[in-house]
Amino acid sequence: MAWPDQLLGRVRHVLHHDLRRESVRVQSIARSAGGRFTSVIDVGHARAKSGRLPGIEGVWVLICGDLAIFTLLFGSFVHARSTAVPEFESGRQFLSPDWGGLNTLVLLTSSWFVVRALLALRAGRVGEGRRWIGAGAALGAVFAVSKAFEYAREMRHGFTPASSEFSMYYYSLTGIHLVHVLCGTVGLTVFALVHTRAARAGASAGFESMAIYWHMVDLLWIFLFPMLYLLK
């Protein structure tokens, strides 16, 4: 009978157009008895060669929105500082550039681990990828704990969110960033513990999005560190 072949042809056509960036292999075994047939479709995830943003496209919208909000906050900080330089400089004396630099190193190393994880997953080395993801998540937790101790130290010296306009900006900006770090750490931990079929086949779009988010968190801190700790 010809209709099973026609139906399989339509399946191939749909997969070709709707999943044009996937590697598709279709195997079929047709049986004419009773007009029934079975088919096995094996869809393997493949990275697009060109014209494709990494990760899930919708996540880019959220990340761009996040960056826009932080840009406004950065602009507000710079404007406020320009009108009260002595007050902001006085508040900055409570901060430890060495501590901030250590936190920067922790985040940069964590981002490098995430890059290694992505490369391992793309090469099909899922076990290695999990270990790199776990290492990245661990450093995210180290950053969060370090920041908590830093807050405690600063407050013991009388530097609280209500101390000055600078302290208000400092705790607001670093606090929002810390929430992002915690969310990213949880996300990385989930990816380290839970395997998806896509991850087993290679790099999943979901983890690509997670990696992009983590790099955004890193990028934000790269701006926050000199702006809060070093700018004179």
Query: Which residues does 140 contact at the CB level (< 8 Å), separation at least 6?
Result: 107, 110, 181, 182, 184, 185, 188, 214
Is 159 within a domain? yes
Q: Does residue 63 form part of some domain?
A: no
Structural domain contains residue 161: yes
| Integer angstrom CA distances of residue 45 from 25, 108, 114, 115, 200 | 11, 29, 20, 19, 10
pLDDT at 52: 63
Question: Are the beta carbons of 209 and 162 closer than 8 angstroms?
Answer: no
CATH label of the domain that carries residue 202: 1.20.120.80
pLDDT of residue 40: 30
In a domain, 173, yes or no: yes
Residue 40 lies in a domain: no
In a domain, 213, yes or no: yes
pLDDT at 81: 94
Number of domains in the chain: 1
Does 9 map to a domain?
Answer: no
CA of 139: how far to CAs of 128, 136, 143, 176, 178, in Å?
17, 5, 6, 18, 13
Q: Write down the pLDDT at residue 199.
A: 53
- Quick count: other Cβ atoms within 10 Å of Cβ 51? 6
Q: What is the pLDDT of residue 30?
A: 36
Q: Which amino acid is at 168?
A: M
User: Is residue 44 situated within a structural domain?
Assistant: no
pLDDT given for residue 125 in this prediction: 86
Domain hosting 222: range is: 99-230
Q: Model pTM?
A: 0.74
What is the pLDDT at residue 58?
75
Per-residue pLDDT of the chain (232 residues; tens, 9 = 90+): 444 445 445 444 444 444 344 343 333 333 443 443 333 333 334 444 445 666 677 788 889 999 999 999 999 999 999 999 999 999 999 999 999 999 999 999 999 999 999 998 888 888 888 999 999 999 999 999 999 999 999 999 999 999 999 999 999 999 999 999 999 999 999 988 875 544 554 457 788 889 999 999 999 999 999 999 998 7
